[in-house]
Structure 1
């Protein structure tokens, strides 16, 4: 159990306590903070309060963060679409709808559960809950991921990520007809201060750069390719919404009126990197899944 204290500032006065706490604990969602308050882990001036308590100037806020129960990782016999594998790494084509690693809400059926069944030799740099995971893509995003089998590979691939030398290209379908063939979105991304469960373009966010090319244009939609320079959470989804062309089917960042899909129409199509041991450039490409093609065919049909 970790304990913390904070004195309410003038800027924080009159704000709800759950909002203040979620801003102080950037890694935790507002719903998680509300559960701490409900369970009695949060006090103001030594007294338990409710989540809607309005903070007053100079209130002493004290809270405890309970230790999370370690997740039990269970190997599961889930089919994997392995594009490449050797003794150092493997490249997987993750299906739409699969979560990459276990969390409180998804303890089974993840890519990690499947990987543990397929091979026991995964790197441990990201801890026991994310063995081998160098980078992630969202649950409803399909496509390519590289997984490290040992710490040497993991360290090397992470360094390539940091130095922006890993090649990552995505295909997506967005709302709106983009008026130019190419573009670069250079806008910092961080936690959305109005909704802690979302990311957004914010002044104090981390640098984020997305290059895009229009592959096909329609009156109300655009089929695009995006290349990432950085790898921020929800980067393509946030950036395309920021410039006014949100992804089709995106439940978090897209419009309510959209085409019927199972989440955002986004696919990690190309992945290229220098092999950590062989020092050879390797590049892989997989076509979008049937669900993506189905949406594309529907748009082509109506126009």
Structure 2
């Protein structure tokens, strides 16, 4: 069985990428419920377990069971490429009560008493859920979001380059084994079947660090969205900066060597600063030196400048 979206040339031209802090937050609830299936995130779990005391997540767990359908209203598709959590939380708060009730009624294999309570007064239920999401974010996720954001950003830059260089065929061939593009339709291997036009403005592709290993889809009445597991999630909780080989560090300096190695994937100044534990100003200064030496180059992508290694930089890093 599969979801089949019509993906004509116009739809391909409107493929977009976005991040969603709300999606990551909600997906992490499954990690809390069954850590054995998400062992890659054990360092995060160890850090946040003590912070859960006094935080009642039972209603959220009912709406986000370990497997199967979760209530769509708590994961609205991003309406901008990089939405703020507060803006996404406001969209959850503005969910029409009847829509929230209908979605809660679809959930199976979870605490029916909590779901019945939610459905009896969905307006109050949405307000409670939004409040719990906010408290959970502040206690357990906001601190770690910059690290997750950096990983998602690197993935989107990689995929965008794939799309620009190899077209949709190369993008979807490398996206996930569950995704196949026939040239006319996008087939997504999911445990239900649907054939439909894309809903909303094209197709939204959203990488996720906490969702997986399967992909996820959303569509009408929401913006059509495909969530896929991000590449490199195994590096998410690595501590410290990338090691700088002695010879390279001696040649261009330790911090610049670390930045040059980190540019194996294109990145922005802010993402590098988070990963390197340096200030954006320091990273910008080092990038200026690397660019001046012909080892890195900046390119404007929307409102941001993304840096990548030049062929000379690749050669130098490859011999490190």
Q: Same fold (TM over 0.5)?
A: no
> Which is bigger in relative contact order (C-alpha 8 A, separation at least 6)?
2
As a proportion of its length, which structure holds more helix? 2
Length-normalised TM-score, structure 1? 0.25
